[in-house]
Amino acid sequence: MTVILALSLLAWAGLAFAAEKGAMNETVAWPSGAGGWTGKGEAVRYRGRAIFDYIDGAGEVYLTYNFREVSVRRYERKDRAAIIAELYDMGTAQDAFGVFSWDRQDPEAGIGQGSEFGGGLLRFWKGRHFVSVYGEGEGKEQERAILEIGRGLASSIAGTGEPPRLIRSLPDEGRVEGSVRFVRSHVLLNQRCFISNENILRLGTDTEAVFARYDLGKERTFVLIVGYPTEAGARSALASFAKAYKLGADGMGEAGGAWTGAEAEGRQVIIALRAQDRAVARRLIDSGKMKLKEGP
């Protein structure tokens, strides 16, 4: 899996709390063990910015998704490497999906509402929770235990949730499977779909951005849809983006043989980025607009 880079973002994510022992959520029951690995002691909980006591620089990624707390439990077996299970409370299903989607790259594992498993690492989301279970060693026996612990956690999480509604407005034509992402931070957006070193789309804690990669003649064609609290905010962000990309009055522009287009639709801005020609960019934008008008 890709190593999450240390980021310099915002300090809005909340106050730091000392690590605590005990279950993060009384409705979530920790599996006692699997395949000979047994849970050791109580789970340790880290709240708010205390996540840096557990994972240093990578904590910024979770904070951009309105992270609340993480509970960590260690599973051990004699003469074998340990298994670590992490249960994150992200506050909403949208943010749980977001932190799962941002680093997604392995095959689906059929656990929770969306999952992946590869290299001894299981990641999935369900409801407002994101879960990571991984082994400090390797081998099929440990992989089976990791999956069993993950299934146990998933089954104990009460309730499900809806991913960001804007995902439904992404065009279907040419969309690369598994490429959908949800972010609130322009720094995270840039690491998967570079826009600008500046926050020209004015992303923040009150915005939602979904994007996906498309195979339509250009390997790195993207469609990005950003939702804002107000129509005025969407129009302001569109003007900022159009100025930076030198788009014409029709919202279209070309640079280096690639076309970019952008339009506002109510409180949303739809962007087709690096399309092979004007027609493809126009078609992607129109498809997104039509889906937005259709509603959820």
- String of DSSP letters for 126-154: ETTEEEEEEESS--HHHHHHHHHHHHHHH
CA gap 2, 212 in Å, rounded: 18
- Entry pTM: 0.86
Supply the pLDDT for residue 180. Answer: 96
Q: Tell the burial category of 203 from Cβ atoms under 10 Å away from its Cβ (0-12, 13-18, 19+).
A: buried
Supply the pLDDT for residue 105. Answer: 87
Q: In 3-state terms, what secondary structure has residue 275?
A: strand
Segments of the chain with pLDDT less than 70? 1-27, 218-219, 296
CA gap 264, 285 in Å, rounded: 10
Q: In 3-state terms, what secondary structure has residue 53?
A: helix
Q: Report the amino acid identity of residue 127.
A: G
Which domains, ranges and CATH numbers included, belong to the chain?
Answer: 20-156 (3.40.1000), 165-294 (3.40.1000)
Supply the pLDDT for residue 5. Answer: 31
> What count of residues does the chain have?
296
Supply the pLDDT for residue 218. Answer: 66
User: How many CA atoms lie within 13 Å of 146's alpha carbon, on the beta-carbon side?
Assistant: 28
CA gap 157, 112 in Å, rounded: 9
Supply the pLDDT for residue 17. Answer: 34
Nearest to 287 by CA among 196, 218, 214: 214
What is the DSSP code string of 56-95?
TTTHHHHHHTT--EEEEEEEEETTEEEEEEEEEE-SSHHH
CA gap 34, 63 in Å, rounded: 31
Nearest to 8 by CA among 59, 48, 60, 53: 60
Supply the pLDDT for residue 22. Answer: 44
Supply the pLDDT for residue 219. Answer: 65
Q: What is the pLDDT of residues 43-87, one digit of tens each?
A: 999 999 899 988 877 788 899 998 999 999 999 999 899 999 999
Nearest to 109 by CA among 82, 132, 139: 132
Nearest to 168 by CA among 80, 227, 118: 227
Please give the structure tokens belonging to residue 293.
């008008």
Nearest to 66 by CA among 82, 43, 89: 89
